[in-house]
Amino acid sequence: MSAVERVVPAPAGRGRGRTRGFGKLLATELKVWLRDPTAVFFALVFPSMLLLGLGLAIPAFQEPMTDAPPPWNEAPGVTSYLPTIIALAVGTISLTTMPVQFATFREKGILKRLSTTPMPPQNLIGAHMVINVLALIVSAGAAVVGGMVVLGVPLAADPLVVLLVLVLSTTAMFSLGLLVAARADKGTTASGLGMLIYFPSLMFSGVWVPLSIMPDWMREIGLFLPLGAAAQGLTIGWFGTDGFPLAQVLVLVAWTLVLFPLGVRLFRWT
């Protein structure tokens, strides 16, 4: 049972209730979200587990990148995979968990019932947006810290560029997830649509074929896809050898400007 079926502010002071009850709603929904083992695993654990598994199990990822310029020639090979893992964390949350949550609320009629109470349905959507952003911060942070502590991955050459690309990747991919959730009438439908986008996106973002050995045609296609642009931009910022990832940043901004208004416009509350 969702928290909103138990947490509804008092009718008095309708305008104030719209914001006054948000903190309690957020805290309760977070507790409910943490009780879902599937969401917690894929949102919080899977990216770090994949990175550490690859780094510890594959000998090539433990050897120094001798063909890279200094100081990266002494870094373990798994370093080249970390930016892709961060992009994977963004894609996993935005396409496999968030759309299912929103579509399930619609399927169960929770959004419709909220529209008749002082707590507007937008607050529930906002609460889960916050939860998913927090989950992304934890997931990406765990991957970075785990890679540095366990695998010896060096810190990014340009952390500010990495942070900028991560923020833009989040806005672009969350906008895509919102668009998926906007029209899916059931949680299972949202899950199916999300997976149809998720797995091809992984291919062009370097999960299946590392960016360093990806064919030029795949890299060019990936540049114009939100998750591919995210992985490329994060890689450029992490190694700091190819200047500023202007093309990738512009692609992510463009996807956000197109997808977010479209998702909001097409979103159905019932």
pLDDT higher than threshold 50 for residue 111: yes
Q: Is the peptide bond before 71 cis (omega within 30 degrees of 0)?
A: yes
Task: pLDDT band for 155, please (50, 70, 90 cuts).
Answer: very high
Provide the residue ranges of all domains of the chain, joining segments of one domain with +: 3-266
Count of Cβ atoms closer than 10 Å to residue 151 Cβ:
21
Predicted pLDDT of residue 123: 87
Predicted pLDDT of residue 7: 42
pLDDT by residue (tens digit) across 16-54?
Answer: 545 667 888 899 999 999 999 988 999 999 999 999 999
- Element spanning 262, H or E: helix 246-266
- Percent of residues, the chain, with pLDDT higher than 70: 93
Q: Are 153 and 78 in contact (CB under 8 A)?
A: yes
Predicted pLDDT of residue 121: 80
Distances (CA, A) of 181 to 125, 163, 188, 213, 270: 11, 26, 11, 34, 12
pLDDT by residue (tens digit) across 53-103?
Answer: 999 999 988 999 888 888 888 999 999 999 999 999 999 999 999 999 999
- Per-residue pLDDT, averaged over 203-210, amounts to 91
Task: pLDDT band for 228, please (50, 70, 90 cuts).
Answer: very high
Predicted pLDDT of residue 20: 65
